[in-house]
Amino acid sequence: MKPLPVIGACCAPGAQPIAADDAQALADRFKALADPTRVAIVNRLAGADEVCVCDLVEDFELSQPTISHHLRLLREAGLVEAERRGTWAYYRLVPEAIDGLRVALAG
Amino acid sequence: MKPLPVIGACCAPGAQPIAADDAQALADRFKALADPTRVAIVNRLAGADEVCVCDLVEDFELSQPTISHHLRLLREAGLVEAERRGTWAYYRLVPEAIDGLRVALAG
DNA sequence: CGGTTTCATCGACAGGTGTCAATCTACCAG
DNA sequence: CTGGTAGATTGACACCTGTCGATGAAACCG
């Protein structure tokens, strides 16, 4: 798991050149949001403190493995984090990660 | 070419639920930034008013068709726009499109 | 203990994506 | 008109990705 690198402004007028590594790291995080299901999951998590996986499986009309797959990608990108409590797993947003992307889009 | 739909906050704590269409539209625009070369191109365009395609082909060590391909994806996502002057083509950032993404990431 | 539930992982498959060489289409200079 | 240059398009290829069914792993219940 990467330590969630902090990348400065890059994509609005006036931004300074960024290194190839940073472009790669940014692309990786944007890739996590490059799917409508994952955008919807993030949106769902943004509306509550935490959400049980079982609720996500009910909300979206996708198989449980597919939801699990998307959650993993979001987790690996550092955008969400999971906590296991007994039989259930609860997912939360990582606001700092979203902030990081917003900052990167600034000028 | 889509009319660049405006989508409200979606991905930070406190955001309201968004429609499936909006999740799709957002994912499409994030997908345009889900590649390191395209992030670097956007960063390059952010540092100048406009950039000639010939300069991009020189800067990045990729073939001219590949650069052209990435520019098309960015254009179709509405993140950049092109202007043809004589033999050369000049690309510019569309700041409103970047702003739209930044707003979507807000809470 | 055995059975059930929740979630993650695996294997497979169709469709999408990044890349390049080759080609095509303006446009400009003689 | 001829030749040269800039950029877009095409075709091909390897690789990645979203999806599902089947299986595994861990916790709970009776």
Residue ranges of domains in chain B, CATH in brackets: 20-106 (1.10.10.10)
| Beta carbons within 8 Å of B74's beta carbon, 6+ residues apart | B32, B38, B41, B42, B80
Reported pTM: 0.94
* Chain B residues whose C-beta sits inside 8 Å of any chain A C-beta: 10-18, 20, 23-24, 26-27, 30-31, 33-40, 42-44, 46-47, 93, 95, 98-99, 101-102, 105-107
pLDDT tens, position by position, A80-89: 999 999 999 9
A100 to chain B nearest CA, in Å?
A: 10
pLDDT tens, position by position, A50-82: 999 999 999 999 999 999 999 999 999 999 999
Measured between alpha carbons, how far apart are the two ends of chain A, in Å? 28
A-chain residues near B102 (CB < 8 A): 12, 102, 105-106
Query: What does the alpha-carbon distance between residue A97 and residue B93 come to, in Å, rounded to a whole number?
Result: 25
**Is the Cβ pair A27, B44 closer than 8 Å?**
no
pLDDT tens, position by position, B13-63: 999 999 999 999 999 999 999 999 999 999 999 999 999 999 999 999 999
